[in-house]
């Protein structure tokens, strides 16, 4: 599907670049939107949403965004900062922190009670990086609360908070629980209310982990 209000040469060049990228990396299907002056001027869908049925990608297809959810989480946190409910310097665990003893009472492993919102947002909390020890890829039987409680009690930080960058999925899991704590809402509901709805975004949702949980119109290219 190709809909646009662009100059023909610019549109053709954009389409050719997108199609070349899709073929180079063997991407079954992709969708591109271009906005100008806060108005949508181009929707471009290339390839297949389902290679088995041959169904083409359309603007209604949903794509997993993986770690692009992290900046959305950050925007939600900044909305709470703007509302005076949070500061970047707020600590997360221990006395006087956001969670207090929600995930176990101190004393904690070294450095845990010094971790701030800013450390988590900037991947400088000191550990739990995206490697073979990433807590987010272990203990699948645990829910988020159980995983956080287990990790801060058992997985030592590798550096003092604030000293080194180490990309952390687990850090953003903690930030999701911060949003829940401060809003009294599930993470998805808070993000929808504070960020997505004001932007006119209505179809975004938390992805499932199984085929049975796949939402309608989710891309299925395997």
Q: Which domains does the chain have, with CATH numbers?
A: 2-64+207-213 (no CATH), 67-199 (3.40.710.10)
Supply the pLDDT for residue 140. Answer: 83
Quote the distance between the C-alpha of residue 174 and its chain's center.
Answer: 12
Amino acid 217: pLDDT: 58
Instruction: Give the pair of three-digit tokens for residue 131.
Output: 């490697």
Nearest to 60 by CA among 75, 71, 45: 45
What pLDDT, on a 0 to 100 scale, did the predictor assign at position 215? 65
Rounded to two decimals, what is the model's pTM? 0.84
Bridge pairing between strands 39-50 and 29-36? antiparallel
For the chain, give me the number of helices (H) and strands (E)?
A: 6, 4
Q: What is the pLDDT of residue 218?
A: 57
Q: Please give the pLDDT value at position 2.
A: 47
- Cβ(56)–Cβ(49) under 8 Å? yes
Q: Please, which residues have CB within 8 angstroms of residue 148's CB and are 6 or more apart in sequence?
A: 103, 173, 174, 177
Residue 165: helix, strand or coil by DSSP? coil
CA distance 101 to 113: 11
Low-confidence ranges of the chain (pLDDT < 50): 1-2, 221-222
């Amino acid at each position: 599907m190709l809909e646009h209000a662009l100059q023909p040469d610019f549109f053709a060049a954009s389409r050719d670049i997108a199609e070349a990228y899709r073929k180079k990396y063997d991407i079954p299907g992709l969708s591109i939107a271009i906005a100008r002056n806060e108005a949508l001027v181009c929707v471009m869908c290339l390839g297949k949403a389902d290679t088995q049925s041959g169904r083409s990608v359309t603007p209604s297809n949903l794509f997993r965004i993986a770690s692009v959810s992290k900046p959305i989480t950050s925007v939600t946190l900044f909305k709470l900062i703007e509302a005076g409910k949070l500061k970047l310097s707020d600590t997360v665990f221990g006395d006087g922190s956001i969670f207090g003893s929600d995930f176990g009472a101190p004393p904690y492993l070294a450095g845990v009670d010094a971790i701030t919102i800013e450390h988590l947002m900037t991947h400088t909390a000191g550990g739990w990086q995206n490697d073979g020890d990433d807590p987010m890829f272990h203990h699948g039987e645990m829910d988020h609360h159980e995983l956080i409680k287990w990790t801060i009690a058992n997985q030592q930080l590798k550096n003092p908070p604030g000293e080194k960058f180490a990309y952390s999925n687990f850090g953003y899991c903690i930030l999701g629980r911060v949003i829940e704590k401060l809003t009294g809402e599930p993470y998805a509901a808070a993000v929808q209310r504070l960020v997505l709805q004001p932007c006119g975004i209505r179809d975004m949702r938390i992805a499932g982990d199984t085929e049975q949980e796949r939402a309608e119109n989710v891309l299925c290219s395997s």
